[in-house]
Amino acid sequence: MSDPLPEHELIIIGGGVAGLAAGIYSVRSRIDTLLIERAFPGGLAFSTHLIENYPGFPGGISGPELTGKFEAQGRELGLKIDNRGVSSIHPADDGFVLTTSAGALKTKAVIIATGVTPKQLGIPGETEFFTRGVSYCATCDGPLFRDREVAVLGGGDSAVQEAIYLSRLCSKVHLIHRRDRLRATPILQEKAEEKPNLEFHLSNIPEAIEGKERVEGVRLRNLKTGESKLLRVDAVFVYVGYNPHTEFLGDLIELDDGYIITDDDMSTSREGIFAAGDVRKKPLRQISTAVSDGAVAATSAEQYLENIESSVKTETDENKKLMLRLKRIEGQIRGIQRLLQQGHDCKAVLQQISAARAALFRAGIHSAVANFRRCAYDGKGATTDFHEDIERFLETLEKFS
C-alpha cells in the first residue's frame, strides 16, 4: 500500500502579501498551515521599489523590506513556507488533494492567493524602463509624476479609469489606443472627455518607449496616416489587462474572465476553498486590500474548519448514543435467546422479537434489521437458521461497537 499523503488543515497557495497575511492570521489561530510559493515570498510587492501608500511607513518603504517583514513575522509565528508550484486541485474525501511540483498534498481547506501578472505590450523599451518611467500601476506610481506629462496605453475600463485618476495629479495625460474608439464603458468615456488635460490619441499604436536613463517619450504610429512621431512624456502607464493565475483551477470554482468570484467572506463557489488578493474579482488591487483579503480569508477558513470539526464531534456524540441503544438491543436479543433455550411459548418470544426490531429501526440500523428480518420462528421452537441469524446479527452489532 502507498504511503498516505502529507496532510495539513489549511494550505495557502501563493506567497504574496495576501497569502502571507492569511498565513499570519491562520498560524495565530493555531491552524496547521502550509504556504506554497512557486517563486519567492513577497510576490508582486517584492518587486516594487518604493511603496508610499501602505499605511504605517511615513516616507514609504521598499517592496523587499516590507515583504521581508511579512515573511519574517509569519515564520516567527510558525508559518511553514514551501517552495513549490501547484498545478491542480481535486476534491477528495474530507478535503482536497493538490498536485504540486514536489508531490501531492492533502488538505481540508485551501486559500488561493496566486495574484495576477500585468500583461505586457512587448515593445522595445518596455522591460528596459520598467520602474524608470514604465509602470503597470497608476495608483502606486502616479504620485511620483505629479505635475508632469504622462501617457496611458490602453482603451478599456482600467486604462480610462487610471487616465482620469492621473489627470488629477499630472499636468497632462495622453491616452493612446490602437482602435478608432475606446472599449471603456460610455460613462467612463464621458468622464474622461470632461477632463481638459486629458488628450486622446485614437488609431495610434505605441511602437517603442524611448529615453536614456529614464523614459523620455513614447513613439507612436498613426494607423490611418502611417505617420510616426515621438510623444514626449516622463512616464508610460501600460493598461492592456492582467492575467490572473487561475489556469490550474480548471472548472473547480466559478471564475469571471479568469478572476475568482468570492463573497465578502472570501469564500468561493466551492465549500472549503477561499481566495484572497489580486486573483479575485474586485475593484481595487493594492497591498492594503490584499492584506485585508488575506485576513478575512484566514478567519473564514478557520470558521469552516471549526464547523467541520464540530460536526464530526456531533457525529461522535451521536455514535455514543447509538452504541448505548445497541447495547440495550443486544440485551433484548440475548433475552430472546434465553427464552428460546428455556422453551418459552411463542407469544413471549414474538413480542421480544418485534420490540428488538422496532428498537433497531429507531436506531437507524437498517442493514441489521434486514439481517434480523430473516429470522424465522415457527411458533413451535427456534429453527437452526434462527440461531445462526441471531449470531450473525450479534456480529453485525459488534462491528458497530
Ligand X SMILES: Cc1cc2nc3c(=O)[nH]c(=O)nc-3n(C[C@H](O)[C@H](O)[C@H](O)COP(=O)(O)OP(=O)(O)OC[C@H]3O[C@@H](n4cnc5c(N)ncnc54)[C@H](O)[C@@H]3O)c2cc1C
> Among all residues, which ones are annotated catalytic?
137, 140-141
Q: Under the criterion CB under 6 A, does residue 53 sit at the interface with ligand X?
A: yes
Asked if residue 33 lies in contact with residue 8, where contact means CB atoms within 8 angstroms, the answer is yes
Of all helices (H) and strands (E), which one includes residue 206? strand 204-211
Spatial separation of the C-alpha atoms in residues 64 and 256, rounded to whole Å: 31
| DSSP structure string for 346-379 | HHHHHHHHHHHHHHHHHHT-HHHHHHHHT--B-S
Nearest Cα residue to 276 out of 75, 111, 60, 58: 111
The grid cell for 230 is 515621438
Residue 232 beta carbon to ligand X: minimum distance, rounded to whole angstroms: 23
Q: Under the criterion CB under 6 A, does residue 17 sit at the interface with ligand X?
A: yes
Asked if residue 132 lies in contact with residue 215, where contact means CB atoms within 8 angstroms, the answer is yes
Residue 110 beta carbon to ligand X: minimum distance, rounded to whole angstroms: 11
Spatial separation of the C-alpha atoms in residues 317 and 79, rounded to whole Å: 33
Q: Under the criterion CB under 6 A, does residue 285 sit at the interface with ligand X?
A: yes
Q: Under the criterion CB under 6 A, does residue 23 sit at the interface with ligand X?
A: no
Q: Which of 54, 239, 274, 372 binds ligand X (CB under 6 A)?
A: 54
Q: What end-to-end distance do the CA atoms of the chain give, in Å?
A: 27
Region of 91-99, 110-118, 157-165, 250-258 interacting with ligand X (CB under 6 A): 110-118
Beta bridge partners of 81: 35
Q: Under the criterion CB under 6 A, does residue 85 sit at the interface with ligand X?
A: yes
Beta bridge partners of 259: 256
Spatial separation of the C-alpha atoms in residues 38 and 13, rounded to whole Å: 9
Residue 77 beta carbon to ligand X: minimum distance, rounded to whole angstroms: 18
Q: Which of 26, 33, 135, 204 binds ligand X (CB under 6 A)?
A: 135
Q: Under the criterion CB under 6 A, does residue 248 sit at the interface with ligand X?
A: yes
Q: Under the criterion CB under 6 A, does residue 154 sit at the interface with ligand X?
A: no
Collapsed DSSP state (helix, strand, coil) of residue 160: helix
Residue 272 beta carbon to ligand X: minimum distance, rounded to whole angstroms: 18
Nearer to ligand X, 85 or 335 (CB): 85
CB within 8 Å of 191: residues ≥ 6 apart: 160, 164
Collapsed DSSP state (helix, strand, coil) of residue 150: strand
Give the CA dihedral 244, 249, 251, 256, nearest 10 degrees.
Answer: -20
The grid cell for 268 is 468561493
Q: Which of 51, 238, 240, 253 binds ligand X (CB under 6 A)?
A: 51
Spatial separation of the C-alpha atoms in residues 313 and 319, rounded to whole Å: 10
Nearer to ligand X, 70 or 372 (CB): 70
Q: Which of 9, 71, 278, 389 binds ligand X (CB under 6 A)?
A: 278
Region of 15-23, 220-228, 315-323, 387-395 interacting with ligand X (CB under 6 A): 15-23
Q: Which of 10, 113, 326, 333 binds ligand X (CB under 6 A)?
A: 113
Q: Which of 7, 28, 38, 221 binds ligand X (CB under 6 A)?
A: 38
Region of 129-137, 206-214, 317-325, 386-394 interacting with ligand X (CB under 6 A): 129-137
Q: Under the criterion CB under 6 A, does residue 201 sit at the interface with ligand X?
A: no
Say how many residues touch ligand X, by CB under 6 A.
37
Residue 103 beta carbon to ligand X: minimum distance, rounded to whole angstroms: 14
Q: In the block, which residue shows the cell 418485534?
A: 354
Asked if residue 297 lies in contact with residue 13, where contact means CB atoms within 8 angstroms, the answer is no
- Structure letter (DSSP) for residue 210: E
Region of 178-186, 266-274, 283-291, 336-344 interacting with ligand X (CB under 6 A): 283-291
Nearer to ligand X, 114 or 167 (CB): 114
CA dihedral over 85, 88, 93, 94, signed as positive or negative: positive
Q: Under the criterion CB under 6 A, does residue 245 sit at the interface with ligand X?
A: yes
Beta bridge partners of 205: 221
Q: Which of 10, 61, 79, 86 binds ligand X (CB under 6 A)?
A: 86
Q: Which of 14, 133, 244, 272 binds ligand X (CB under 6 A)?
A: 14
Nearer to ligand X, 15 or 155 (CB): 15
Interacting residues with ligand X (CB under 6 A): 13-19, 36-39, 43-45, 48, 51, 53-54, 85-86, 113-115, 118, 135-137, 140, 245, 248, 277-278, 285-288, 290
